[in-house]
């Protein structure tokens, strides 16, 4: 009877976490659809919006380790609820931005810090506490796939809102939708239990910092952030430049989300059976190959949709494997904090992916240089995961 009740609690946490990720990840994936209309309305080049998005990604990453530490200490629900509120307020205030600094403050600072507190990395840590150790990678894959379901479901809705109400009203509606995350945060309440003789957070951080495999993960996740942020933000305007119909932009982002459901869940399942580091190397190699084919193929609606589907399979399938390796090496006690630091690297990569996309485009009138940089980084990430020692680190004794 007690086992059945524990199973029900576990499923409630998993469902709430998946729904939270659908909203948290899905609502921001359509920001690229607003790049041109918002920039045109204010007479800006693409770099202004790109820098705001880059600041958002960087502050998201910078805030996650602190938000994760707060969740580990004071509970997940408070942090997630605060993040969802700040996230929604930042989006709703974007239409009032008539100067670049105002867009940087709302879309960049407010949404960035809001996302750090409403991050899927904190949700994944809550899922990791709710399931047995042998099911953690599966739960991480399921939670990541849910975020992609949000991209598939919400990106077309945002494009529809943009067409029906205009960009400013659409952003206000999207900001209000963030409030749906508040009741879900309550079901994810809780924090890791303190066990006698267990490490302190300082000991855990020192242990991770002295472990080479941890830094390989940090370096590899930088590349993931570069790819994801550049494509999310700059694929819609790139498609406009090469003459692909505007309707394809929203559907391409949705298709990435749809196929990433398959990719993330499959990575979570395979990560429980096969080597996680080898799977990560293959994913990054696959990204380099897919981007190369896309850049060399004449642009068309069909080529874009094929590219979106292929990238979707490789999109966030890195997350359950990377978070799984953190859990394998260091255990679940400080996973939110340790994975938060890895995620910071992801967001630094996202900063450069978004900002360089706008900067190089405004300077050259083309995205070609950034696409080829993405290929080179994919090959680098495929190699950097190979030396990782995929085993548990001996826990340092508590003093």
> Does 3 have pLDDT greater than 80?
no
- How far lies 364's CA from each of 25, 118, 226, 235, 354, in Å? 31, 36, 20, 17, 16
- The domain covering 7-190+201-384 belongs, at the CATH homologous superfamily level, to MFS general substrate transporter like domains (1.20.1250.20)
> Does 32 have pLDDT greater than 80?
no
Distance of CA 276 to the CA centre of its chain: 19
Among 322, 315, 313, which Cα is nearest to 343's? 322
Q: What is the mean pLDDT of residues 237-266?
A: 82
Residues 266 and 141 sit within 8 Å (Cβ to Cβ) = yes
Please report, for the chain, the start and end positions of each structural domain, with discontinuous segments joined by +.
Answer: 7-190+201-384
pLDDT digits (tens, 9 = 90+) for 282-317: 999 999 999 999 999 988 888 999 999 999 999 888
Contacts 24+ apart (CB under 8 A), 133-136: 133/327, 133/332, 134/272, 135/272, 136/324, 136/327, 136/332
Residues 308 and 252 sit within 8 Å (Cβ to Cβ) = yes
pLDDT band of residue 330 (cuts 50, 70, 90) is confident
**DSSP letters for 85-114:** HHHHHHHHHGGG--SHHHHIIIIIIIHHHH
pLDDT digits (tens, 9 = 90+) for 123-145: 877 787 777 777 777 777 788 77
What is the pLDDT at residue 359? 87
- How far lies 363's CA from each of 226, 231, 305, in Å? 19, 19, 28
pTM of the model: 0.75
CA distance 92 to 115: 14
What is the pLDDT at residue 1? 46
CA distance 30 to 27: 7
pLDDT digits (tens, 9 = 90+) for 150-188: 877 887 888 889 889 898 999 999 999 999 999 998 888
What is the pLDDT at residue 207? 78
Which segments of 28-166 does DSSP mark as H helices, in order?
35-42, 46-74, 76-93, 100-103, 111-117, 120-130, 136-165
Count CA atoms closer than 13 A to 61's CA, side-chain side.
23
pLDDT digits (tens, 9 = 90+) for 334-392: 777 788 888 889 888 988 998 898 889 888 988 999 999 999 999 999 999 999 888 87
Which segment of 51-65, 223-237, 326-340, 380-394 scores lowest on mean pLDDT?
326-340
Phi and psi of 179, rounded to 5°?
-65, -20
């Amino acid at each position: 009877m007690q086992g059945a009740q524990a199973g029900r609690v576990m499923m409630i946490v998993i469902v709430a976490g998946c729904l939270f990720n659908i909203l948290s990840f899905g609502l921001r994936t359509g920001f690229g659809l607003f790049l041109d209309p918002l920039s045109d309305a204010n007479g800006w080049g693409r770099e202004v919006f790109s820098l705001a998005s880059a600041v958002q990604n960087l502050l998201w990453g910078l805030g996650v380790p602190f938000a994760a530490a707060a969740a580990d200490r004071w509970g997940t629900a408070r942090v997630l609820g605060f993040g969802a509120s700040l996230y929604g307020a930042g989006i709703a205030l974007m239409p009032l931005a008539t100067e670049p600094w105002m867009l940087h403050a709302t879309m960049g600072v407010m949404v960035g810090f809001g996302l750090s507190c409403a991050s899927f990395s904190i949700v994944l840590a809550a899922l990791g506490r709710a399931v047995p150790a042998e099911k953690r990678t599966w739960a991480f894959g399921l939670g990541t796939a849910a975020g992609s379901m949000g991209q598939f479901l919400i990106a077309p809705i945002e494009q529809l809102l943009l067409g029906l109400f205009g960009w400013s009203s659409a952003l206000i509606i999207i900001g209000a939708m963030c409030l749906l995350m508040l009741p879900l945060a309550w079901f994810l309440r809780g924090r890791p239990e303190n066990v006698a003789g267990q490490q302190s957070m300082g000991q855990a951080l020192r242990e991770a910092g002295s472990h080479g495999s941890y830094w390989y993960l940090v370096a590899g996740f930088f590349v993931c952030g570069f790819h994801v942020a550049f494509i999310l933000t700059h694929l819609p305007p790139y498609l406009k430049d090469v003459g692909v119909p505007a309707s394809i932009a929203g559907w391409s982002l949705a298709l990435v989300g749809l196929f990433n459901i398959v990719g993330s869940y499959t990575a979570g399942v395979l990560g429980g059976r096969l080597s996680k580091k080898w799977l990560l190397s293959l994913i990054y190699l696959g990204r380099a190959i897919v981007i190369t084919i896309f850049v060399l193929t004449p642009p068309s609606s069909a080529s874009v949709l094929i590219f979106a589907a292929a990238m979707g399979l490789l999109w966030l399938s890195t997350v359950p494997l990377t978070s799984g390796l953190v859990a394998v090496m260091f255990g679940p006690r400080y996973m939110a904090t340790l994975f938060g630091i890895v995620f910071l690297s992801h967001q630094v990569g996202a900063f450069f992916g978004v900002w360089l996309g706008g900067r190089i485009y405004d300077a050259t009138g083309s995205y070609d240089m950034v696409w080829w940089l993405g290929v080179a980084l994919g090959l680098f990430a495929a190699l950097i995961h190979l030396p990782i020692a995929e085993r548990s680190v001996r826990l340092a004794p508590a003093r």
